[in-house]
Amino acid sequence: MKWFNECNQEIGFPLKDWQPKKYPERVTIEGKHCWIEPLNSQTHAAQLFEAHKKAKDERIWTYIPIGPFNNLEDYQKFITDIANSSQEVQFAIINKKTGRSVGSFALMRIDKENGVAEVGYVVFSPELQKTTMATEAHYLLMKYVFESLDYRRLEWKCDSLNKPSQAAAQRLGYKFEGTFRQIQVYKGRNRDTHWFSVIDCEWDHCEKAFEQWMDEENFVNGKQKRSLVQVRENLGR
């Protein structure tokens, strides 16, 4: 269907009674394998610093403008600064089995007037990477954005050379939109940025895929029978 104005110009579809949405809150959201809670230095910094130090190298810091951190004091200061920022809402990801922080991410570039946010500052420790817990953490955040906040769009952006991040975005259901060339200088080098997004009309499909993938029947001895991508494809549109 197409829409036209009084000048017979084609325009976008109408949004009846559209109102700006509320700003994300520093909420705690519980899942089966993990929960996410507001990030703060006192509770999480030491645990996260310890968790990240278990990595075999510093590759998690390569494609983001922060880190690596060589001492706890510097890392605590960083966590304090971002946790108190008015520009984003930071979350720690807590392993339900241990009660310890194993990663963090944020809602940033928040545009409540248009119902848009970006998930960023995704820094997962080895304990969290490539686990059901990691997938569930993203699911909890996405569900909050689309259902509790009623936003229309959630973005994912990464360095165009960051292949793992691109694969993660597409696995989670984000669609590639294009590349912004030479958009940033960080750590003394150029960055071209790939943009991905999920929009509100796609969320129901994404949510069903997440829930089917996380179902206990999809796992045998901790190993998945079907990948999240396969589950989503089998659901169709």
Q: What is the DSSP track for 178-220?
A: EEEEEEEEETTEEEEEEEEEEEHHHHHHHHHHHHHHHSGGGEE
Q: Is 236's pLDDT higher than 90?
A: no
Every domain of the chain and the residues it spans: 21-235
How high is the pLDDT of residue 237?
62
pLDDT tens per residue across span 65-98: 999 999 999 999 999 999 999 999 999 999 999 9
Q: Is 113's pLDDT higher than 90?
A: yes
Domain 21-235 has what CATH class? alpha beta
pLDDT tens per residue across span 176-229: 999 999 999 999 999 999 999 999 999 999 999 999 999 999 999 989 999 999
Q: Please, what is the average pLDDT of the chain?
A: 96
pLDDT tens per residue across span 138-177: 999 999 999 999 999 999 999 999 999 999 999 999 999 9
**pTM exceeding 0.75:** yes
Q: Is 51's pLDDT higher than 70?
A: yes
